[in-house]
Structure formats: C-alpha cells, structure tokens
Structure 1
Amino acid sequence: MKNTKKPVYITTKDFLVSGESFRLVYDSEFNMLVTTPQPTAENLPDYYESDAYISHTDSEKGLLPFLYQKVKQRALKKKVQLITKLNKGTGSVLDIGAGTGEFLKVASEKGWKIYGAEPNEKARSISEQKGVNLKDSYTEFSNQKFDVITLWHVLEHLPNLQESIKEIENLLKPGGTLLIAVPNYKSFDAKFYKEFWAAYDVPRHLWHFSKESMIKLFSEEIKLTSTKPMIFDSFYVSLLSEKYKTENSFSIRAFFIGLWSNIRAWSSKEYSSHIYCFKKAK
C-alpha cells in the first residue's frame, strides 16, 4: 500500500501562551503548511488569552507593542488609500477579524460605509468605545453584499479554511475587491529563524501560505490582480523571532535580518508578508 502520510515541514511551539509543540505539515495540493494538531473550536479561544496578543489591544507598553502601534497608524492610512484606489472611490467595506476597529475607524473618516466582525469580546469592546460596532462573526452578514472585503492577517486564523473562503466569496459583490494579507513561509526571515519564526504563531495560525497557495485556494470567479509587499513585517517579525530565540527584548541583528529579507525579496519576490488583491468577476 502506498504511503500517503504528509511530510512534517518543521516542528515549532506556542511561544505566547501554552508552550505546547505543534507540527507544520506540508500540503502539496495547495503548497502550504498546516498546523497539526489543530485546537478544537471549544479550546481555540484559550490560545488568544494573553495581554501580549497585541492585535486585541491598543497597548503601547513595551518596546515591541510601542513600535507596532506607531507603525500601524501609518499603515492604516495606506490600507484605506489602497481600497479606495482599487474600488475607484468609496463604498461598503467589510473587515473580517477587525480587532479593535482601527482600520474601520480610519475608513469611516474617509467616507466608507463600514462593517466588521471580530470574535474576541475584549477587542469588540475596545472597538465599541471608538464608535465602531462589530459583529462576532462575518456569517451574520450572510444576507448582504460588499464592494470591498478585507482580511488583514486573518485568513490564517480561520478554521474550516475552504468552507470559510467560499462563504467570504459569496459576501462580495460582482466586480468587488477582496484584499487578504498573510505571512509568507517562503520568505528569507522564515527560513532564517526556522522554528522560532514568529509568524508561524501556532496554534493561532492554523494555515501557513505561499504565493502559490493564494492562487489555488480561491474559485475561478476570484482573480488575483496584484500582490503587494508588506515591508515593515520583516522587521517586526524578526524582532519577535529574536525574542523567542534569545529571550532578548531587542536585537540589532533582527533589524539587519529584516532588512536583508526585504533586499532578497526584491529579486525573489518572497517578502515576509504580502497583500493579495483579488477581483470578483462581474
């Protein structure tokens, strides 16, 4: 009998909450890695219960959160400019995994009609204080269609990946724009840090994508129109990876690894993270 067991790409661990080890198994069909074993729906929220999980807070305490929040403000404006350009004006935008609502707040200030979903109750509460009300699941918008849908480092968190992608595609208007930002396990910084690469972030990240993955996973109705690098990610991820590897809160080497990752990506086009811009057929 032929052995169909999928190979283990690397073994890493949850550096943030539990310290548990997980295998990243290579899926040749989609050229991606799958976190194994995956948490159940019941215990997955437990892995997000950490004050250090900065996507669910607006904290600036500590060097890494401070840098993250400062760079985020500039990035938010760039993201809103991007969706406005791709949509050729404002319209309705659904942000899935909206965190504390910062992106939607900026989008609203620029004239967008905003909608959002965030499963974490603490993050939703912070968002509400800014006047941005979020649903706890994007499935609550199943009777609506949107000009733009965004997932900023969220797709890797969604259970039942292909089912989730199908549901998201159905929420998009014909001719609508879908923007997805995800880490790239084929980047230089991923290969350099190996099991310490912070963007693996197991088991919160259930899936780990390549550029090939992001073409194969979507239906023929959804066409990839462009891919944009997220230049800052290599620096932030390298800083966090150094912390996991050496326990140092700051490292000059991390800056040079992040810089070299971006320099290498000029030719390889394998940046630490990418934004994938899709268009749905009319």
Structure 2
Amino acid sequence: MFPTEILKEPFLICKDHTVSGEQFELRKAEKLDLFVTFPRPEEDKLSSYYKSEKYISHTDSKSTFFDRIYQLVKSSMLKKKLVWIEKEVPKKGNILDLGAGTGDFLLAAKKRGWEVFGVEPDNGARKLAAEKGVDLLKESEALPNEFFDVISMWHVLEHVPDLDKQISELQRLLKPDGLLLIAVPNFKSYDAKVYKENWAAYDVPRHLYHFSPQSMRELFEKKNFSLTSQKGLFFDSFYVSLLSEKYRSAATNVVKALMIGFISNLRAMKDENYSSLAYFFRKSQKGNF
C-alpha cells in the first residue's frame, strides 16, 4: 500500500544492477518527501529479485572485494549500534530485530545481556543465524502485544511492501515509551546527488521506498511515534560510493569513491544528511494499535 498518491512523471530511471538488469522509475509521492519504486513487482515475484549471491545481507560471504568491505563495516558497527541503544535504554530487556538477516546484530546483543528476538523472511539467512545460535521467526504476527523494550530495523523499512501496516505492527509490538530504531538510506545525501540514477542505495526494485528525514518524521508521527534523535551511519557513504562508482563506470575506482564518501560525510557534519541515517523514535505512552 502506498502512503499517498504518486506523481506520474519519473524523478529518475534506475537499473537493477544486482539481479535482473531491468529498469525501474522513482516516482515522487504527492504529499510526502518520498520516492516510490515503479512499477512494483508483484509480491509473489518480489522474492526473485533477492536470489543472487550479490545480495550480501542474506549471506556471510567474503568472496569478493565488496563482500569483504561489507562484512568489515558490519562488524565494526555492531558494538556502536548497541552502545547507542544502551545509552537510550540502560536497563537491558527484550530486543526485537526485524529483518535480522544472518543474526549478527542479535548475537552481539545476546552477548551483552539482552533477551533477543528476531524476524527474517529469508530461509537461507535464518538457517545461517540458527547455526550461530540465534533462532529467528519468519513473521512477527505471533509475537505478543507491547512486549519489547527496543525494536530495531537496520536497512529494512525500504523493503517493506506496506508501510502503513508495518508501522502499525511496530506500534503493536513496542512497549509504551519503548525505543524504536530504524536505519534507512537518505536520498538527500551528497553521494546520492552525485551518483543520481547510479546511486547504489536506490537498489531497485528491492528498495520499494526511498526516504528523506522529513518523510521519516511525518510517517511515524502519524502513528504516535516521536523522533528524539538521529545519527549518521558514517561508513555507509564509503561503501555505497564504491558500489555506485562501479555501477556508473563499470570500474572499481576506489580513490574517487572514497573521496566522494569523505565529502558526503564532511557535508553531513553540517546539514546531517548522511548517506544513511538511524532514527530514534519513542512510542507515545497513549498510543493505540
């Protein structure tokens, strides 16, 4: 379900560089600072766009240069993410990670004393997580109401077919005044403006929605969530720029990509438009689901 009507004229036409080679449009939402991937694959066909060894978040692969960079960045950010959470929620309780991938974030949280729960639709990723001792559910519907102190979604919301339904489900699951942490790419960033249709974080058609800070705030305020802070994911600009450079020129221009990533972070220190942003929301004490 789209959160609002979308304009007919495309903002950009982007290529699926990962699986199909097909082209998709980014169309502007009429009432939100948000882009929507168009046409959207049917839900029963959408999973086929994830079936590639190039789709690294469902694997633990380190076989290519980009795989190794991804895994290095992921490992370096695990502790930082948990430190952020523990500053907001000092008493460790129940944490739910939606779109948990191969379970590394929950494994790190478990080692720090959290009671961990996770949801991951992909069978292969769930199997890899189970081998690490992290058991994941396929869906969240069976989980109890208002049970979780913290819910996280790390680069997952952009994949969700029905935003309204998903945000309502987050409200159902989270305790009153609980912490919701959502990280998504930010098309307002400098690297997005440089690479345009080749910006790797558009990742059509797997990314169905493309957010700005304004649209994130407005979407969640409608569901009784209050934005308390946001943090930049510093390493994302470098990783995304490396991939984007490859998409744009079919070459791994490491120096140029790192320079663009550096400039993007430098500018974001002033305007907060990092390549990816982690948003911290609190659920209203009076919120209904």
Same fold (TM over 0.5): yes
- Verify the 8 A CA contact 2:168 2:223 in the aligned structure 1: no
Q: State the Cα distance separating 1:28 from its structure 2 match.
A: 3.2
Q: Name the residue aligned to 1:38.
A: 40
How far apart are the structure 1 equivalents of 2:211 and 2:84? Answer: 22
Cα RMSD (Å): 1.3
CA contact (8 A) 2:200 2:247 kept: yes
Q: Is the 8 A contact 1:224 1:276 kept in 2?
A: yes
* TM-score, length-scaled by structure 2: 0.94
Q: How far apart, in 1, do the equivalents of 2:225 and 2:146 lie?
A: 18
Structure 2: 5+ residue runs without aligned partners? 1-5
Post-superposition shift, 1:268? 2.1
What are the Cα deviations for residues 115-145 of structure 1, in whole angstroms up to 9, with x where unaligned?
0000000000000000000001122325462
Question: In structure 2, the residue corresponding to 1:179 is in which secondary structure?
Answer: strand
Structure 2: which amino acid aligns with 1:118? E
- The correspondence for 1:262, drawn from 261, 265, 268, is 265
- Taking a change above 3 Å as real, the CA distance of residues 139 and 220 of structure 1, as seen in their structure-2 partners, is closer
Aligned to 1:234: 237
Question: Is 1:182 matched with 2:202?
Answer: no
Q: What is the rounded CA distance, in whole Å, between the counterparts of 2:223 and 2:121 in structure 1?
A: 29
Q: In the TM superposition, what is the alpha-carbon distance from 1:191 to its structure 2 partner?
A: 0.7
CA distance in 1, matches of 2:99, 2:191: 25
- Inter-partner Cα distance in structure 1 for 2:93 and 2:183: 20
Select the residue among 83, 98, 111 that pairs with 1:109.
111
Q: Secondary structure at the match of 1:25?
A: strand
* Structure 2: distance between partners of 1:89 and 1:136: 28
Q: Which amino acid aligns with 2:111?
A: E
The CA distance in 1 between the partners of 2:276 and 2:145, in whole Å, is 32
5 and 57 in structure 1: CA distance in 2 versus 1, 3 angstrom threshold: closer
CA distance in 2, matches of 1:85, 1:281: 19
Between 1:4-13 and 1:210-219, the stretch displaced more is: 4-13
Query: Equivalent residue for 2:284?
Result: 281
Aligned length: 279
Residues 37-74 of structure 1: CA deviation (Å, up to 9, x unaligned): 11111001100000111100111111111111112112
Q: Deviations over 1:160-206 (max 9, x none)?
A: 11111111111100010000000001111001001100000000000
For each residue in 1:21-48, what CA deviation from the matched residue of structure 2 results, as whole angstroms up to 9, or x when unmatched?
0000001312100000111110011000
Amino acid at match of 2:107: K
Residue 18 of structure 2 aligns to which amino acid in structure 1? L
Given candidates 59, 62, 65, the residue that maps to 2:61 is 59
Relative to structure 2, which stretch is displaced further, 224-233 or 61-70? 61-70
In structure 2, the residue matched to 1:173 is 175
Equivalent residue, structure 2, for 1:48: 50
CA distance in 2, matches of 1:74, 1:265: 20
Aligned-residue offset at 1:87: 1.1
**Correspondence 1:93-108 to 2 at 5 A:** 93-108=95-110
Distance 2:144 2:197 in 1: 38
2:161 corresponds to which of 146, 156, 159: 159
- Match status 1:206 vs 2:222: no
Give the match for residue 255 of structure 2: 252
Aligned partner letter, 2:228: T
Of 122, 132, 135 in structure 1, the residue corresponding to residue 134 of structure 2 is: 132
Query: Conserved in 2, the CA contact under 8 Å of 1:6 and 1:27?
Result: no
- Equivalence for 1:74: 76
8 Å contact kept, 1:84–1:90: yes
Instruction: Please report the TM-score for the alignment, with normalisation by the length of structure 1.
Output: 0.96
Q: Is the Cα contact below 8 Å between 2:146 and 2:172 reproduced in 1?
A: no
Corresponding position of 1:17:
19
Quote how far apart the aligned CAs of 1:5 are: 4.2
| 2:224 corresponds to which of 195, 208, 221 | 221
